[in-house]
């Protein structure tokens, strides 16, 4: 399984919408490297930017195998548990409803 992720924030990137904007989507994955490369090409074409632009998707996004991404690349952020106020570290791609820092987590 492979992910397309943003280099600076390490958010997993989803498919582009009608306007050509690719937004973070923690559930988007690809079975093969070639399908991930095709997805990145689609994102680049949908962006409408020139290849000389520093924000061109091929410069901003990368592809990585899932296990290596989660073990070595994905960043962690410090958040506060709303029940007891203790701080903890959490991966940036953790869905909001699965985070102890959200009210949704505690009301399920």
DSSP 17: -
Report residue 84: phi and psi, to 5°: -120, -5
Are 67 and 81 found together in one domain?
A: no
In the chain, % helix, strand, coil (3-state, to 5) comes to: 30, 25, 40
Distances from the Cα of 47 to the Cαs of 1, 19, 38, 61, 77, in angstroms?
25, 8, 14, 13, 29
| Residue 108: per-residue pLDDT | 75
Are 90 and 55 found together in one domain?
A: no
Q: How many domains does the chain have?
A: 2
Are 6 and 54 found together in one domain?
A: yes
Are 90 and 50 found together in one domain?
A: no
- Taken in order 37, 77, 89, 23, the sign of the CA dihedral is negative
Are 59 and 32 found together in one domain?
A: yes
Task: Give the model confidence (pLDDT) of 15-66 as tens digits.
Answer: 998 888 899 999 999 999 999 999 999 999 999 999 999 999 999 999 999 9
Domain holding 87, by residue range, is 76-107
pTM given for the model:
0.86
Task: Give the model confidence (pLDDT) of 52-94 as tens digits.
Answer: 999 999 999 999 999 999 999 999 999 999 999 999 999 999 9
């Amino acid at each position: 399984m492979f992910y397309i992720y943003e280099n600076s924030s390490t958010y997993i990137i989803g498919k582009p919408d009608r306007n050509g904007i690719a937004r973070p989507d923690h559930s988007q994955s690809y079975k093969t490297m070639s399908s991930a490369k095709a997805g990145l090409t689609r994102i680049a074409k949908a962006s409408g930017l020139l290849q000389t632009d520093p924000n061109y998707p091929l410069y901003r996004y990368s592809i990585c195998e899932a296990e290596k991404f989660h073990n070595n690349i994905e960043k962690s952020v410090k958040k506060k548990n709303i029940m007891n106020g203790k701080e903890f570290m959490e991966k940036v791609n953790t869905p909001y409803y699965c985070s102890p820092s959200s009210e949704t987590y505690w009301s399920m």
